Amino acid sequence: MSMVSKTFELVSYEKNNRIAWLTINNEERMNALSTGVQNGLYYGFEEVINDDDVLVAILTGAGGRAFCAGADLKEMTERDQNIGQGAAQEAQNGMFHVTECKKPIIAAVDGFALAGGMQLSARCDVRIATENSRFGMPEPLRSLTPINLMDTLEMGFVPLGEAMWIILSGAHITAQRAHEIGFVQWLAEDRDAMMAMAEERAETLKLCAPLAVQALKNGVHLNMNPPAPQPEGVSYLDHLRSLNAPLQEKVANSEDRMEGPKAFAEKRAPNWQGR
């Protein structure tokens, strides 16, 4: 299958072998979340969401100095207050599109992932980092709060004490420490090893039925951030089941639902259609 290459402002997009590679290209500002990056993330992940040929996405930053250093403070100071508020909303839209993507996303972190950059990596499903990478939420050191305070909920998979220290202290942590507390799943010696590992993990995810993967991811997200309100007289688990039921039914009624057992019986790899 031929490779597809596109550019969405300051985010490049490549699709090859059903894997989408999205790269933040704002090197001179350490891949900060400028308007161009914010918009690029929005339209790049819109492509991932809407392209049925894409099964997995990998998000990284160009250059090796930073995955993403958070908000573009220089750009923010160059604007008046009203425009700045508009830019913050655009940043939320771009970040939210990452969260809205039901397909698995791998963050490949090389360098600094700070503030909104750490939040961005947290919105991905798994994280690979080079050994020289650093993570942190320095907002309180500048009397700032995260782009969206709800992003702190994205760190629910990290022990509470560890998450609170990162959020409240503004201190950086090493990639090794991020791995120890479960924020990072795998460490890579350098950028080349990281990119190779990201592709290897993406290939592993491609072995699974796409609709099943999407339903499972959706179920986990619902459990971590259940929408309110919960209907009166309905248990928490029943509420979550009802919310995830449409995707579960889609899996149960799909062609792939028959292909899995058939391939197992015939001792061959399944040919997933995603329908």
Band of residue 85 on the pLDDT scale cut at 50, 70, 90: low
DSSP tally for the chain: helices H, then strands E? 10, 11
Between residues 178 and 229, the one the model is more confident about: 178
Is 253 found in the same domain as 182? no
Between residues 88 and 36, the one the model is more confident about: 36
Is 233 found in the same domain as 251? yes
Angle subtended by helix axes 116-123 and 81-100, to nearest 10? 20
Between residues 268 and 255, the one the model is more confident about: 268
User: Lowest mean pLDDT: which of 108-112, 169-173, 186-190?
Assistant: 169-173
Is 83 found in the same domain as 173? yes
For the chain, the average pLDDT equals 85
Strands (DSSP E) found in 151-268: 172-174, 186-188
Tokens (6 digits) for 214: 């999407």
Is 97 found in the same domain as 160? yes
Asked if residue 150 has pLDDT above 70, the reply is no
**Residue 119 in contact with residue 97, Cβ under 8 Å?**
no
Residue 39 inside a domain? The answer is: yes
Please give the Cα distance from 225 to 274 (Å, whole number).
26
Residue 77 confidence (pLDDT): 72
Domain of residue 36: give its range.
4-205
Q: Cα–Cα distances in Å, from 118 out to 123, 166, 241? A: 9, 10, 31
Residue 145 confidence (pLDDT): 74
Asked if residue 90 has pLDDT above 60, the reply is no
Residue 98 inside a domain? The answer is: yes
Asked if residue 260 has pLDDT above 90, the reply is no
Residue 81 confidence (pLDDT): 55
- CA 117 vs. chain centroid, Å, equals 11
- CATH number, domain of 245, equals 1.10.12
Is 232 found in the same domain as 112? no
Residue 235 confidence (pLDDT): 74
Residue-wise pLDDT for 19-61, tens only, equals 999 999 999 999 999 889 999 999 999 999 999 999 999 999 9
Please give the Cα distance from 217 to 13 (Å, whole number).
23
Is 92 found in the same domain as 31? yes
**Residue 214 in contact with residue 102, Cβ under 8 Å?**
yes
Please give the Cα distance from 225 to 244 (Å, whole number).
13
**Residue 222 in contact with residue 241, Cβ under 8 Å?**
no
Is 80 found in the same domain as 154? yes
Is 254 found in the same domain as 124? no
The number of distinct structural domains making up the chain is: 2
User: Lowest mean pLDDT: which of 77-81, 108-112, 260-264?
Assistant: 77-81
Q: 193 by DSSP, 3-state: which?
A: helix
**Closest to 41 (Cα-Cα) out of 101, 98, 121, 107:** 98
Is 83 found in the same domain as 110? yes
Is 75 found in the same domain as 147? yes
Per-residue pLDDT averaged across 245-272, rounded? Answer: 80
Residue 5 confidence (pLDDT): 86
Residue 275 inside a domain? The answer is: no
Is 218 found in the same domain as 162? no
- CATH number, domain of 51, equals 3.90.226.10
Residue-wise pLDDT for 101-140, tens only, equals 999 999 999 999 999 999 999 999 999 999 999 999 988 8
